[in-house]
Amino acid sequence: MNLTKDKKLWMYQKMCEIRNFELEVDRLFKANLIWGTCHLSVGEEASAVGSIAALEKDDMITSTHRGHGHCIAKGGKLPQMFAELLGKETGYCRGRGGSMHIADLTMGNLGANGIVGGGIPIATGAALASKLRNDGKVTLCFFGDGATNQGAFHEAVNFGAVKKLPVVYLCENNLYGMSVPFEKASAAKDVADRAAAYNIPGVIVDGNDVEAVYEVTKAAVERARQGQGPSIIEAKTYRWLGHSKSDPRVYRTREEEEAWKQKCPIKRYRQKLISEGVATEEELDQIEKSVEKAIQEALEYAKNSPEPKVEEIMEGVYA
């Protein structure tokens, strides 16, 4: 791998931003400042950051209902993200979309959505457009293990493989589709095994190892960019919190949760950076402090932003 110190510190910073953002959102929801629901990605930071770090700036992504981390890693602006979740006019979608519908087309983020597997056909379509335009862009498609049993998964991946489209399908397998263990929903042990049906590569990676995720994604992205078609990457990871804010997590043990917390991707990477002499404890402490400051400043921006005007409620609504 050709990872510079700046790139490694960028990955550490982004993982810290995602963790701090999600924990702040959790607090805001409990304080009744965020309505509806939220799907938080605490514990899954490495899969988002490591994969997006392998993209070029003009490449695109599609996200999921658990998409805050994807947006932040792709260059999403923290103030606008908080504003969107708080339903403010300055949010990415003017407060209309909320947690599951953040998009930033200027950064190549084609958006999250609340439909399980909904981003897979969108990513495939974006890749088809890139191939027809010959613009050299690759689309990275995020989805969870639960999406692999949706018809859209098969239809889109098969089409992408047949047309050799510049798309990488990345499954963040956090072991549960809502409350259902993956092993009870799939006859195949691993999502990556399904790649054989489409005659494309399927790779399993430790989703809590940010550099490992970067390495396999980089290879898949370059393969796609060279016209060799898509790949499936299965990042094995774990969400520390519930599927959504209404999930009491009665389907798994606290011992299992604690075991995965010991594999924290941020603590793990911090130890690696220090042990390899890439960064000092002081450098990483400074990054964490700057992230905490940025989070609080972004939150203040959102809280002080105006509410949407009632007379503009129909703007952006079409029939």
| Cα 258–Cα 262–Cα 267 angle in degrees, nearest 5 | 140
Specify if 293 maps to a domain: no
**Dihedral, CA of residue 146, residue 78, residue 23 and residue 61, to nearest 10:** 20
Side-chain-side CA neighbours of residue 141 (13 Å): 29
Enzyme catalytic residues: 239, 243, 251
Give 21-65 as a DSSP string. Answer: HHHHHHHHHHTT-S-S-----TT-HHHHHHHHTTS-TT-EEE--T
Q: Which two tokens stand for residue 255?
A: 């011992």
Domain extent for 204:
35-265
Residue 132 lies in a domain: yes
Q: What is the pTM of this model?
A: 0.96
Is 19 part of any domain?
no
Q: Is residue 29 part of a domain?
A: no
CATH number at residue 192: 3.40.50.970
Question: Domain for residue 278, yes or no?
Answer: no
In a domain, 273, yes or no: no
Classify residue 100: in a domain, yes or no. Answer: yes
Neighbouring-strand partners of residue 232: 169, 202
- What burial letters (b/e) apply to 129-157, b meaning 16+ CB within 10 Å? ebbeeeeebbbbbbbbbbbbebebbbebb
Q: Which residue spans within 182-311 are E strands per DSSP?
A: 202-206, 231-236
| Residues whose CB is less than 8 angstroms from the CB of residue 78 and which lie 6 or more positions away in sequence, other chains included | 17, 21, 72, 294, 295, 298
Q: Give average pLDDT by consecutive 10-residue segment, the chain, 319 residues.
A: 93 98 96 90 97 98 97 97 96 92 94 94 98 98 96 97 98 92 91 97 98 98 98 97 87 94 97 98 98 98 96 86
The order of strands in the sheet holding 167-173 is 60-62, 139-144, 167-173, 231-236, 202-206
Taking the C-alpha atoms of residue 188 and residue 81, their distance in angstroms, rounded to an integer, is 37
Rg (CA), the chain: 19
Count of structural domains within the chain:
1
Q: How many CB atoms lie within 10 A of CB 225?
A: 16
Q: Report the distance separating Cα 31 and Cα 207, nearest Å.
A: 31
